[in-house]
Chains A and B, each alone.
Chain A
Amino acid sequence: MKRLSIMFLLIILWQGSMMFFNVQSYVVPQPLEISHVLFTQKSLLVYHSFISLSQVFLGLLGGIILAFMTCIFLDKVKQLENACMPYLIALKNLPIFVLAPIFFIWFGYGLLSKAILITLSCYFPMAVALLDGLKQTPHHAKEFLHSTPSASYFPSLFWVRLPYALPNFFTGMKLAFLHAPVSVIACDWIGAHSGLGYLLMLSYGRMDMGFMFAVILLLLFYGVVLYKVASLIQKSTVRHILNV
């Protein structure tokens, strides 16, 4: 309730100061103008939101799967972890703006290349967090695993080590959920025929400030929703599955 009140207060302040100082809508649009765009262009916005959110969803899913696969591999072949870390860091330091044109040439401007790019941008925070988490097995659990003859790697991982690693992983996952919408916009700017970033570029070309602000507001909203979803997954897993 408090949050909603703050939002309404900000909107009233915004609208009031626009009217009081007589700011032109091509400089900063009025909240009423933005809400008009949101209402009249809703089918267009919903369509492009759906495209962007599908890319986010696929990218996150790809990032999670890739993070688990590589981390488990690096954990199993421990000697490789140190050897591979510099490459992972190098990959992280390559901005999406650099990689995007290459992927667009390889896979076209469609869903596939964007899903791969978002996967890569989400992968790193989750992989680092999970690798770190797999080192968080408490001493007593390690001792128990070592003292059990013929304890196998995957059952030990599933029943004991992974649950201890999950809280760490979720921290990385929340960061990835925050990164994902930004990455989608970056991809759209470099080359796209659809998506919220494409709409943003289109309205920029037309100097349509009302439309730009409407898209930005939607992006903010999706960002908060994604973060909340990540927090919800984290909380319910920690409370109901890990029981800690």
Chain B
Amino acid sequence: MIHFDIPGFQYPSSSNTPPILEKQSLLLETGKWTALVGRSGSGKSTLLRLLAGYFDMTDARFDIALLSQEAALFPWLSLTKNIGISDLIQGHSIQEEKVQQLLALVGLEKDAPKKPTEISYGMQRRILLARTLYLDRPIIFLDEPFSAVDPKTRENLYKNAKKWLHGRTVLFTTHQWDEAKTLGDAIYELQGSPGVLVKLERTQKMKEGN
């Protein structure tokens, strides 16, 4: 089990408004998928960023790789370089073999030399996932990973995502109950304001809906 202490959170610029998250803790089962559900604006993304140490960058946790909703590829780099960018910015050369394996994993091995603008949005998200996996971190946070893809592609991604992220501890957010049930081994809902995590059973329904 991986234990996280959540210190509570309030945006520094909004001292007059109530806190977004209550002080609490969260347990993630190692090697399993945990879904985090809640209505839009309930603080799911904030929670992921807080746990990954993104609000205070001096505190970033290097055992966690976060794929946020805003993440984007760098349009001037080939897909290969986009995946291996973490090595490039450290002044190292890209591990070509590892990139090839990841491209094959997300089914885009033939597109390696292409630029991000030459592939579809769904493919770009897959490359972003490959970039996240390239970091080789044991814990993966995915913020609404499948929200902007069509239902048919989503079904396909559900099947593959489990394969791609095999062995990793995954925490993902979604506002779709079906997605949480399909992918999540455990499900938490962020309820109320300030947000409190409540563990749900798979037979339950989301309390606050979308």
Interface positions of A (Cβ within 8 A of B): 138-141, 143-152, 154-156, 159-160, 163, 241-244
Most A Cβ at <10 Å: residue of B81, B86, B89, B135: B89
Question: Which of B56-79 touch A at CB < 8 Å?
Answer: 57, 60, 62, 65-66, 68, 70-72, 74-77
Do B90 and A152 have beta carbons less than 8 Å apart? yes
Q: Does B54 contact A (CB under 8 A)?
A: yes
| Alpha-carbon gap, A38 to B119, bound state (A) | 54
| Alpha-carbon gap, A19 to B92, bound state (A) | 73
Do B70 and A151 have beta carbons less than 8 Å apart? no
Residues of A within 8 A of B76 (CB): 163, 241-244
Do A155 and B91 have beta carbons less than 8 Å apart? yes
Residue of A nearest to B66 (CB): A147
Residues of A within 8 A of B187 (CB): none
Do A147 and B54 have beta carbons less than 8 Å apart? yes
Q: Does B117 contact A (CB under 8 A)?
A: yes
Which of the residues B66, B72, B86, B117 comes within 8 Å of A138, measured between beta carbons?
B72
Residues of A within 8 A of B102 (CB): none
| Alpha-carbon gap, A243 to B115, bound state (A) | 8
Are A149 and B54 also in contact (CB < 8 A) when A139-B70, A140-B70, A243-B117 are? no
Give the dominant DSSP class at B's interface: loop
Other A-B contacts than A144-B71, A154-B91, A242-B75, 15 sampled, CB-CB below 8 A, are A139-B70, A143-B54, A146-B54, A146-B60, A147-B57, A147-B66, A148-B86, A148-B89, A155-B88, A155-B89, A156-B89, A160-B74, A160-B85, A241-B76, A242-B76
Do B75 and A243 have beta carbons less than 8 Å apart? yes
Residues of A within 8 A of B77 (CB): 159
7 A-B pairs in the complex with CB atoms less than 8 angstroms apart: A138-B72, A146-B57, A154-B91, A160-B89, A242-B76, A243-B75, A243-B76
Do B85 and A159 have beta carbons less than 8 Å apart? yes
Interface positions of B (Cβ within 8 A of A): 52, 54, 57, 60, 62, 65-66, 68, 70-72, 74-77, 81, 85-86, 88-91, 115-117, 135
Nearest CB of chain A from residue B22's CB, rounded to whole Å: 25
Residues of B within 8 A of A241 (CB): 76
Nearest CB of chain B from residue A105's CB, rounded to whole Å: 46
Residues of A within 8 A of B70 (CB): 139-140
Do A147 and B60 have beta carbons less than 8 Å apart? yes
Residues of A within 8 A of B88 (CB): 155, 159
Nearest CB of chain B from residue A102's CB, rounded to whole Å: 43
Residues of A within 8 A of B81 (CB): 159
Do A145 and B60 have beta carbons less than 8 Å apart? no
| Alpha-carbon gap, A242 to B73, bound state (A) | 12
| Alpha-carbon gap, A95 to B62, bound state (A) | 52
| Alpha-carbon gap, A155 to B70, bound state (A) | 23
Residues of B within 8 A of A150 (CB): 90
Residue of B nearest to A150 (CB): B90
Nearest CB of chain B from residue A187's CB, rounded to whole Å: 38
